[in-house]
Amino acid sequence: MAMFNPPHPGEIIREFCVEPLGISITEAARALGITRKTFSALLNGRAGLSPEMALRLSRVFGRSPESWLKLQLQYDLWKTEQSVDISNLRRIEIA
C-alpha cells in the first residue's frame, strides 16, 4: 500500500534518532563518519539516502539497511507520482 505524502528520510532520522539522543548534528555526523554538511543535507531533504548511508545509519542508529532504503524509496516514488503523468499508458496484454 502506497503511503500518502511520506516524510523524507531525513525527517525520520532527525525526529527518531538525533533528537531523542540529544546529540548535535555534528556529533551524529562524526559517529556516521561523514561531514556535517553531508548529514545536514540529508536531514533537510536536500540529499537522498544512498545504500552506503543506509549501512552507516544501520550501524549507528539501528534498523536494517533495507528499512532505511525503503523510507527513501517510498518518498521518491510518491514524489515521482506527483510529477509524472502515466495516464495514457496501457498494460501490454499477452495473447
Q: Where are the domains of the chain?
A: 9-67
Report pLDDT digits (tens) over 30-81: 999 999 999 999 999 999 999 999 999 999 999 999 999 999 999 999 999 9
The single residue listed with the C-alpha cell 544512498 is 50
Sign of CA dihedral 42, 14, 30, 72: negative
Q: At a CB cut-off of 8 Å and minimum separation 6, what does 12 contact?
A: 71
State the first-to-last Cα distance of the chain, in angstroms, to the nearest integer: 30
Which pTM was predicted?
A: 0.87
What is the distance between the alpha carbons of residues 23 and 20, in angstroms, rounded to a whole number? 8
Distance CA 10, CA 21 (A): 15
Q: What is the CATH number of domain 9-67?
A: 1.10.260.40
